[in-house]
Amino acid sequence: MLKIREAIVVEGRYDKNTLSQLVDTLILETKGFGIFKDEERLGLLRRLAAERGLIILTDSDGAGFVIRNFLKGAIDPALVKHAYVPDLMGKERRKRQPGKEGKLGVEGMRPEVLEQTLRRAGATVLEEESAANPGTPITKADLYAAGLTGAPDSAARRKALLRRLDLPEHLAANALLSVLNALYTREEFLARTAEEKR
């Protein structure tokens, strides 16, 4: 599994599922054209781009390029790398018919093709040694100890934390965990939640 420094943005959940079998990094979805009206998600993408870099990996069809071009104009280009999947005709297994243009999307690409695509885009592949000792991650148990899950007022506490950290308010607990691990060390997280308890 490739451990990549940059976060990756893809169009949808099937793209994310395919990519998550190959890379160890934060992968976020645009939810197709939903990104056009989702200021919170766009703000999160900008923040991730500034903190660790961002790779845009959309399908090679017209819709993928519309989304890519929107993101190009919305996020500082110096913080973004562009990964392009090849134009391959075909259909994904889960679909009955090929897409409108008949091209395979990210979800239909073989792992070796996706790896080459990310490497060509300049993805920062972290060395195996540093991947073995990334520091202690924030866990579900930490969220529970902070009262962010498992308690009657957990949803309200999560919402307040998301507001304080300037993160999208609709992040579910699992998504919150991924984003927190992308932006903070465990120590930083524990310090922030300890402040809240005082």
What tens digit of pLDDT does each residue of 79-91 get? 999 998 887 787 7
Please say if the pLDDT value at position 45 is more than 90: yes
Could you write out the DSSP letters of every residue in 114-132?
HHHHHHHTT--BPPHHHHH
Strand partners, 81: 55
Please say if the pLDDT value at position 53 is more than 50: yes
The pLDDT confidence band at residue 62, using thresholds 50, 70 and 90, is: confident
The pLDDT confidence band at residue 114, using thresholds 50, 70 and 90, is: very high
Please say if the pLDDT value at position 48 is more than 60: yes
C-alpha closest to that of 55 among 33, 35, 34, 25? 25
How open is the CA angle 151-183-75, to the nearest 5 degrees? 120
The pLDDT confidence band at residue 134, using thresholds 50, 70 and 90, is: low
Please say if the pLDDT value at position 132 is more than 50: no
Model pLDDT, residue 129:
41
Measured CA to CA, the distance from residue 15 to residue 106 in angstroms comes to 5
Query: When comparing pLDDT for 158 and 79, which is higher?
Result: 79
The pLDDT confidence band at residue 196, using thresholds 50, 70 and 90, is: low
Measured CA to CA, the distance from residue 143 to residue 176 in angstroms comes to 9
Contact between 28 and 43 under an 8 Å Cβ cutoff? The reply is no
pTM, 2 dp: 0.73
The pLDDT confidence band at residue 198, using thresholds 50, 70 and 90, is: low
Give every CB contact of residue 59 below 8 A, 6+ residues apart in sequence. Answer: 11, 15, 85, 99, 103, 105, 106
Return mean pLDDT, the chain.
85
C-alpha closest to that of 26 among 180, 170, 130? 180
Query: When comparing pLDDT for 176 and 140, which is higher?
Result: 140
The whole-number average pLDDT for the span 24-47 is 93
Model pLDDT, residue 104:
81
